[in-house]
Amino acid sequence: MTTGGFVRAAREADADGLARVQVASWQATFAGLVPDSVIAELASDEALGQFTERWLAAIGAPPTSRHRVHVAIDKPGEPEILGFAAAGPATDEDLWPGTDGELYELHVLPACSTAGHDERLLNAVADTFAEDGFSTGYTWALAGDSARIAFLEAAGWAPDGSTASLDMGVRVPVVRLHTRLSAAS
């Protein structure tokens, strides 16, 4: 069940908040899946600064008008970022960025994980995918992140059979999920 909360377009002033949410989400998600040293490195001040700079660039000068970053907040005017989603044209070689959208990132502060922000962010991404003419959405999830996969499946996403792995000090398997956004033409 969802309660209060809002989603808006990210602003450059949100970059630090996005980096902090991303790191907090990774710390919760990666625990037990990657070495503790990797998690500590991702949470370092140096890494946080790099993530902030990347988000500042992504928001201030996106590669295309179809690259979007949405943020979840508790109420209008509230400066604290509780979660965010970044999406745009698909990047995988076997997909076509003209009709395939990709959810690049979806993170919510662990303390806010039951407040419905993830659902609102995913809905905002689906809305902008439709506005931008995408007919299919794709995303990658850690194979061991059963909560994320269950959330996406409950929202109508399904594994498409594609797998890969991330090098995070150890090989971490990932699975790709997809969803149809409109009827086939």
Q: What is the pLDDT of residues 54-86, one digit of tens each?
A: 999 999 999 999 999 999 999 887 789 999 999
What are the phi and psi torsion angles at 50 (to 5°)? -65, -40
Q: Is the pLDDT of residue 162 over 70?
A: yes
Domains in the chain, ordered, with CATH? 6-180 (3.40.630.30)
Token couple for 39: 């998690």
Q: Averaged over 35-62, what is the pLDDT?
A: 95
Instruction: Quick: pLDDT tens for 107-161.
Output: 999 999 888 999 999 999 999 999 999 999 999 999 999 999 999 999 999 999 9
The residue that leads in pLDDT, 177 or 74, is: 177
What DSSP character marks residue 185? -
Does this model's pTM top 0.95? My answer is no
The helix/strand/coil state of 73 is strand
Q: What pLDDT was estimated at residue 125? A: 98
- How far apart are alpha carbons 68 and 61 in whole angstroms? 11
Residue-wise DSSP of 102-167: EEEEEEE-GGGTTTTHHHHHHHHHHHHHHHTT-SEEEEEEETT-HHHHHHHHHTT-EEEEEEEEEE
The per-residue pLDDT of the chain, averaged, comes to 93
Give the pLDDT band of residue 2 (cuts 50, 70, 90). Answer: very low
